[in-house]
Amino acid sequence: MTTKVRLTKLYDNKEIKSTVRQIAKDITRDYKGKNPLIIGILKGSFIFIADLVRELRFPLEIEFIRLSSYGRGQTSSGKVKVLQKIAAKIKGRDVLIVEDIIDSGVTLNFLIDYILKKQPSSLKLCCLLDKVARRRIPVTIDYVGLIVPDKFLVGYGLDWDEKYRNLPDICCVEDEIAT
């Protein structure tokens, strides 16, 4: 018996791009003239952050942190590990965290604590996708792109077991079909 995965397109690249532009407008309004440190969470945010910063026409710096809370499956293990630290100094900086998708809130909650301990002068959060229905830890997000249904999503940087990050659209993974 073989199994097959069905992908259904949920948001096409055009819709994603206009969402990114709207977020960029809001960020520009708040950060122009501030030289913020933008921190992307790897790996999922790499495409979003690349598109986002190209819509921001003011001085800024970019860093990445690599966190992991998912194994090979579709639900968080609940334990967050720092796989790659931030190189830049955080103290006294205006920090904006950029995340691809928020599910339980465990990852962001961990990162907020981690960054606040380093004494930034301000900290705000941005995510492209928010799976609000699955929140276990409340987190206030300053810039949200799209509220998404409680489905497992892939594409535009999001993976399932490291696959599908390169899809230009955001798709949902339907049940596996036995053939």
The site for ligand IMP (CB under 6 A) is made up of: 41, 44, 69-70, 76, 99-107, 152-154, 158-159
Rounded to a whole number of angstroms, the minimum distance from the CB of residue 144 to ligand IMP is 13
Query: Could you tell me the CA-to-CA distances from 94 to 16, 19, 79, 86, 105 in Å, in that order?
Result: 26, 23, 27, 15, 22
Q: Are 152 and 160 in contact (CB under 8 A)?
A: yes
Q: Which does 19 bind (CB under 5 to 8 A by kind): ligand IMP, Mg ion, none?
A: none
Between 27 and 67, CB nearer to ligand IMP: 67
Measured CA to CA, the distance from residue 85 to residue 80 in angstroms comes to 13
CA distance 44 to 61: 19
Distance (Å, whole) CA 19 – CA 16 = 5
Residue 44 near Mg ion by CB under 5 A: yes
Minimum distance from residue 139 beta carbon to ligand IMP (Å): 8
Is the CB of 45 or the CB of 93 nearer to ligand IMP? 45
Based on the residue annotation, tell me whether 103 is a catalytic residue of this protein: yes
Considering beta carbons, is residue 13 or 34 the nearer one to ligand IMP?
A: 13
Q: Could you tell me the end-to-end alpha-carbon distance of the chain, in angstroms, rounded to an integer? A: 6
Name the one range near Mg ion by CB under 5 A: 37-45, 49-57, 160-168, 171-179: 37-45
Catalytic residue, candidates 12, 26, 94, 103: 103
Q: How far is the CB of 11 from ligand IMP (least distance, A)?
A: 12
What are the b/e assignments for 90-123, b being 16+ CB within 10 Å? beebbbbbbbbbbbbbbbbbbbbebbeeeebeeb
Which residues belong to the active site? 103
List residues binding Mg ion (CB under 5 A): 44
